[in-house]
Structure 1
Amino acid sequence: MGKLVLAAKVTHVPTMLLSEMEGSLKGLRKAAIEGHAEIGRRAIAAGADTAIVLDTHWLVNAGYHINANKHFKGTFTSHEFPQFIRDLDYEFEGNPALGDLIAEKANAKGVSTLSHQIDSLDLEYGTIVPMRFMMRDLEKKMKVVSVGAMCTVHSHEASRKLGEAIMEAIEASDSNVALIASGSLSHKIWPNDIYAQNNGTMTISSEFNRQVDLRVLELWQKGDFDTFLKMLPDYAEYCDGEGDMHDTVMLFGALGWDKYKGRGEVITEYFPSSGTGQTNVLFSLPQ
């Protein structure tokens, strides 16, 4: 019987990669990188053998989709930010059985979901970036399953059910899983014509969004998830949640939604990036 052993909401900003290169941004995202490394260490210490990543950079327009290939290997350049992520090599083992099981459980709930094993189906950087930094220094590596979470025509209710299906699949499997919601908090990127004049790479585009982000982190740390879940639809809409925050909806669906009684632990303090609000947070699980 499998088990969820770690749950997290994490950043995947491309500047994490630039932070390790010579140049004006060197060291800028050290805290975020260290946060990923800490989450990776805790996942392995908790016994995780697989990471399921809810990827808000994988855009899906119909149904839900799971990249459950047995092996991932490639060289990635971002279509969105080729100046930030280019020629990035990656290689991870996959867990096809778990991906297929998630789809089976989701379809049983009436949530149309496909699990794919296609060698030419690349991973997106919402999966590649956190997996790179979480596992880079670990002797033991986790397998990877990626779930598309930039959902354009999907309801939060369906994504909540998909989260439930993910938990059911984990418990019916032989895998110990780290569930990673990969996406920002607020996500209003600076308009292109004023990006540079506002030092866009290192600032927030909306003080309102920053204040709501900070309130959300406060609610998570206090364990007030009833209030958070009530505000989540408006938060996603009015603060431009990345991928309409379907990654977060899936995560809390897996955690039990309004029955979840844990607390959030901020691993990386809140920081702005290109107008957006970012952090790394772990959610406590029952012993």
Structure 2
Amino acid sequence: MGALALAAKITHVPSMYLSELPGPHFGCRQAAIEGHIEIGRRCRELGVDTLVIFDTHWLVNSGYHLNCAPLFEGIYTSNELPHFIKNLPYAYDGNPALGHLLAEAATQAGIHTRAHEQTSLALEYGSLVPMRYMNSDRHFKVISVSALCMVHNLVDSVALGQAFRQAIEQHYTGKVAFFASGSLSHRFAQNGVSEQFLHKVWSPFLEVMDRRVVELWQAGDWQTFCGMLPEYADKCHGEGFMHDTAMLLGALGWDQYRGQVEVITPYFGSSGTGQINAIFPLE
């Protein structure tokens, strides 16, 4: 049957796109870009056909949702940071059949989830930025999952991830990668001083907490991390309340997971937030 072939926590900072453009910030996010390219290379090597992205920029106020349109195409400008990402062209293929399979499996597991195939929903930049560097040739199909979950319980997101993996292993015939697209701490720099924090984390407390979390991941101490995740997400301003991370770890076994994370792009500060590209080895 099918397989989850790769799992990763990835950055999607818009300064990656800014890093491409001539000007004072040219090249500033090259390490993050190269991290995405490497993760994409590994997915190709493993025979992955579809990338499922838990996108912390897709805000939802009820239920769980998948965007599995057959085609995503357009020109994107961020309403949040239009001076960072503007007029970005994109074109990717979706996987409606897999989207419906995942939604049905999660719903049967008690986590009501809808798959949107015939839709005008566009991709958010939590999906578009990684795809720019991993999938520019449309090698992979793409599914986006709402992960800025405003009124949801982390335990439900864990169950969602678990149901997704079971559905792939039991009912799919291809190979899939799961990406938790979001930061660690996510306290943006205060307006007026953002330029000073382009390569910094907002506070020493947040940076110390983030670095300790990375140490736990590398040591495979998931009992500690999963136990602290709700409070960490709250007190350290986790992006999307860290539902993307809960989904990813649900697919991996939650606090029973034993993998030791491989850091692809070392932890870095960006506009006050803490970022990383890291692969979670599959057991």
State TM-score, norm by structure 2. 0.97
User: Match of 1:185, as an amino acid?
Assistant: L
> Aligned pair 1:247/2:206, yes or no?
no
Offset from partner CA, 1:3-48 (integer Å, 9 cap, x none): 0000000000000001011001001000000000000000110110
Query: Which of these residues, 217, 220, 232, is aligned with residue 217 of structure 2?
Result: 220
Kindly indicate whether the alpha-carbon contact (under 8 Å) linking 1:52 and 1:147 is maintained by their aligned counterparts in 2: yes
Stretches (4+) displaced over 2 A? 193-196
2:180 matches 1:170: no
Give 1:165 shift.
1.4
Tell me how far apart the structure 2 counterparts of residues 205 and 282 of structure 1 sit (CA, whole Å): 25
Distance 2:118 2:25 in 1: 36
Q: Distance in 2 between matches of 1:61 and 1:179?
A: 23
Q: Does 1:49 align with 2:54?
A: no
Aligned to 1:75: 75
Structure 1 residue 194: Cα displacement: 3.7
How far apart are the structure 2 equivalents of 1:175 and 1:232? 31
> What secondary structure, in the 3-state scheme, does the structure 1 residue paired with 2:230 have?
helix
Does residue 230 in structure 1 map to residue 227 in structure 2?
yes
Listed as ranges, the matches of 1:25-64 within 5 Å are 25-64=25-64
Inter-partner Cα distance in structure 2 for 1:175 and 1:249: 24
CA displacement at 1:78 relative to structure 2: 0.5
1:231 Cα deviation (Å)?
Answer: 0.9
Report the count of equivalent residues.
282
Displacement of 1:191: 1.8
How far apart in 2 are the matches of 1:118 and 1:243?
26
Q: CA distance change for structure 1 residues 19 and 194 in 2, over 3 Å: closer, same or farther?
A: closer
Shift of 1:49: 0.5
Question: Which residue in 1 is equivalent to 2:203?
Answer: 206
Give yes or no for contact 1:72–1:119 (8 Å, CA) kept in 2.
no
Q: Partners of 1:29 and 1:208 in 2: how far apart?
A: 24
- SS of the counterpart of 2:41? helix
Residues 1:22 and 2:22 aligned together: yes
How far apart, CA to CA, are the structure 2 residues paired with 1:188 and 1:228? 20
- How far apart are the structure 1 equivalents of 2:97 and 2:250? 21
Residue number among 255, 263, 275 corresponding to 1:258 in the alignment: 255
CA contact (8 A) 1:189 1:276 kept: yes
- Determine the C-alpha separation between the residues in 1 that align with 2:177 and 2:16: 21
Identity of aligned residues (%): 54
Letter of the aligned partner of 1:61 in structure 2?
N
TM-score, normalised on structure 1? 0.96
Q: Tell me the C-alpha RMSD between the 2 structures.
A: 1.1
Deviation at 1:119, TM superposition (A): 4.2
Aligned counterparts of 2:50 and 2:109: Cα–Cα separation in 1: 24
- TM-superposed CA distance for 1:133, in Å, is 0.7
1:77 is aligned with what amino acid?
Answer: T
Q: State the distance in 2 between where 1:149 and 1:26 align.
A: 30
